[in-house]
Amino acid sequence: MPHANGLWYEWRGLENGEVLILSPGLGGSANYWAPNLDALAVRYRVLLYDHRGTGRSDRALPETVTVEDFAADILGLMDALDIARANVMGHAAGGVAALALALMAPERIDKLIVVNGWAAPDPHFLRCFDARLALLRGSGPEAYLRAQPIFLYPANWISAHHDTLEAELPVQLEHFPGAETMEKRIAALAAFDISARLRDIHRPVLVICSDDDMLVPSNAGVALANGLPIAGFCRAEHGGHAVNIVDPDAFNSFVLAWLAGEIPEE
């Protein structure tokens, strides 16, 4: 398996196309983007990777982890693969990593897409993180993973996809990063706050949020978009935290149109 800078990665799509890096959320696995990959790969050279500490990447983490570390990993991967500039799309943890990267190395970024992300901690998602950590500490990884869909998907979608979610559970358990890693990653997300620095991000950013997101309130996305100098905005009525999985066709179409300049930044 290919590795660079301690991270597992994979190229998909157009060999000579414009680079689009996909950064997953809290779980850290590139597999998260499976429903979107085929559509994106038609137009872009897509770079997938697993976050450090998760999946097929180096599992070792320092004592303290920050979102800036997530961003530095993207930058290190770009350096190792000789990527001068790229578009970056991130979901939640991957989205805030993209924002941190835009502050760290703006000259390396073309456009950013942040899916259900935030600029500062929100009381609701901090409450959700506390509840998930309590499950992990008190009942173990299986209970944590069984509860995970509640935070990711709308209730009706969970009911309709019950069998699929049950089938995925053993695989998720087998590849679970471990309680200590998840504690560190959640602490990094809870501490992330760039609300005072949003005006320093001068790259175009598309902010996507969902009104029925049970983990990150849509108001967090609204505040993020309002604070950015150059921001496109999409507020979905339905789709939950994992809107790109729940409604991939609509998600893919909107993202591709925005990247192509068919939907202007405000």
Residue 1, pLDDT score: 75
For residue 234, the enclosing domain spans 3-259
pLDDT of 265 higher than 70: no
Task: Identify the CA nearest to 122 among candidates 225, 231, 215, 208.
Answer: 215
For residues 52 and 7, the answer to whether their CB atoms sit within 8 Å is yes
Distance between CA atoms of 221 and 257, rounded to whole angstroms?
20
Give residue 226's pLDDT: 98
Q: Which two tokens stand for residue 84?
A: 């001068």
The model's pTM is 0.97
CATH number at residue 68: 3.40.50.1820
Host H or E run for residue 205: strand 205-210
Neighbours of 135 (CB within 10 A): 18
Contact predicate 23/86, CB 8 Å: no
Per-residue pLDDT tens for 15-59? 999 999 999 999 999 999 999 999 999 999 999 999 999 999 999
Structural domain tally of the chain?
1
- 105 domain-assigned: yes
Identify whether 266 is part of a domain. no
Predicted local confidence at residue 199, as pLDDT = 97
Q: How buried is residue 198: exposed, middle or buried, by Cβ count under 10 Å (0-12/13-18/19+)? A: buried
